Amino acid sequence: MENKAYIALGSNMGDRLDYLKKAILHLESHENITVVNTSSIYETDPVGYTNQDQFLNMAIQVMTSLKPFELLDVCLNIEEQLGRKREMRWGPRTLDLDILVYNQENIETEKLTLPHPRMSERAFVILPLLEIDPNIMLPTMKEPLKSCLQSIPDKEGVRIWKRKNGEDVFALIEN
């Protein structure tokens, strides 16, 4: 389990909390993946295609012996097992699992781009991520990710829904 990765989870259909919980259980039950940290759960206004229900979003950290493409295949399989149907681009989904960061790797392929493209512009991704690793550095940035906080729009569309414990990332940005 030598590789560190961060994964974003999202759901905006059906029992959203149950999909997030089941996704974590599926990942944890994989013999080559250990879930080592989880953020609070945030309720977030939809972006991209805005005429859909609100999301629950969170971020987790895993350790894994899988390579990036193997981890991607596991994520896509879990999405499918949990009822994800790919009908509309940016449309509603039972479960979305996006690999955000894998070690300090920089990968650009058709199937997978790491770090996740445009993640640093999306409040629903970086607020949960900064909660579990406030000092995270992306291999594509000179400054720590938290330096993006001032400039990202739509932070007000991201609210704590189920607090994990202790301080959340809003301690970093409130005032």
What is the spatial distance between Cα 155 and Cα 126, in angstroms, rounded to a whole number?
10
Torsion of CA 98, 79, 68, 141, to 10 degrees: 0
Contacts with 9 (C-beta within 8 Å, 6 or more apart), sequence order: 20, 23, 24, 57, 58, 59, 60, 95, 96, 97
Q: How far is the CB of 34 from Mg ion (least distance, A)?
A: 22
From candidates 96, 113, 152, 160, binder to Mg ion by CB under 5 A? 96
Residue 16 binding target from ligand X6L, Mg ion, none, CB below 5 to 8 Å by type: none
Query: Residue count at the site for ligand X6L (CB under 6 A)?
Result: 12
Binder among 26, 55, 72, 101 for ligand X6L (CB under 6 A): 55
Give catalytic residues, as residue numbers. Answer: 84, 93, 96, 98
Residue 68 pairs with which residues in a beta bridge?
Answer: none
Shortest distance (Å) from residue 29 CB to Mg ion: 21
Residue among 89 and 142 whose Cβ is closer to Mg ion: 89
Mask of contacts with ligand X6L, 91-110, x by CB under 6 A?
-----x--------------
Residue 152 within binding range of ligand X6L, rule CB under 6 A: no
The answer to whether 20 touches 26, Cβ cutoff 8 Å, is no
Classify each residue of 59-70 as buried b or exposed e, where b means 16 or more C-beta atoms within 10 Å of its C-beta.
bbbbebebebee
Choose the stretch contacting ligand X6L; rule: CB under 6 A; options: 20-28, 47-55, 73-81, 103-111: 47-55
